[in-house]
Structure 1
């Protein structure tokens, strides 16, 4: 039973890393470049805080993941269980990177749709 769970976990990690790789190389395939995605991050946070963009829960989850990674409390598992302590951080970093890339791509698409709308009034 443990082997099956381990195999599933390994497959999930491999899928996450493949998705991360596709997201990083998306600029070469016509998607937003890594620089465009990272440049969109402050605008995404600002639009979320102002209530214009619906990314509140996702942005909060990404902030929590970043806080977990840099938290000094997380140093205790690294000191006691070196491989396991670093492993949970590696998984969290991979998830965070994928989430940031995915959400910034979603935000850039939202921005493009929003910018395409011409303000005005319907006269009828």
Structure 2
């Protein structure tokens, strides 16, 4: 993902969390509930718009955040130890915000939904 796309995704995640949901957009709760369905649909091969590589990165990011092991431990370098977790959490949140919106649209329109557009 290019730097400008990451910044836009991060801004969108911040907006959803702090400013609430815009009319016509899925709520934060709807997006959160969609994550297990999205992963399940991808693993069953139904939702193919989520590449397996990105799915694996999302899972690894979740495991890293939840894991007691850190790349940069807070004990030795407190500021950087927290920063690495924060960076990964922001990346994961921004990625899931966009991905769950696409997934919810795909659920709504089924196979007529391709790359952000309803076909047919």
Structure 1 unmatched runs, 5+:
1-8, 118-124
TM-score by length of 2: 0.74
Runs (4+) of structure 1 exceeding 6 A deviation are 11-14
Q: Which has the higher helix share?
A: 1
* Aligned residue in 2 for 1:48: 42
Of 89, 92, 98, which aligns to 2:88? 92
Q: Is this contact kept in 2: 1:23–1:98, CA < 8 A?
A: no
Residues matched between the structures, number: 108
Computed over aligned residues only, the root mean square deviation of the Cα atoms, in angstroms, reads: 2.9
TM-score by length of 1: 0.72
Shift of 1:32: 0.5
2:11 is the alignment partner of 1:18: yes
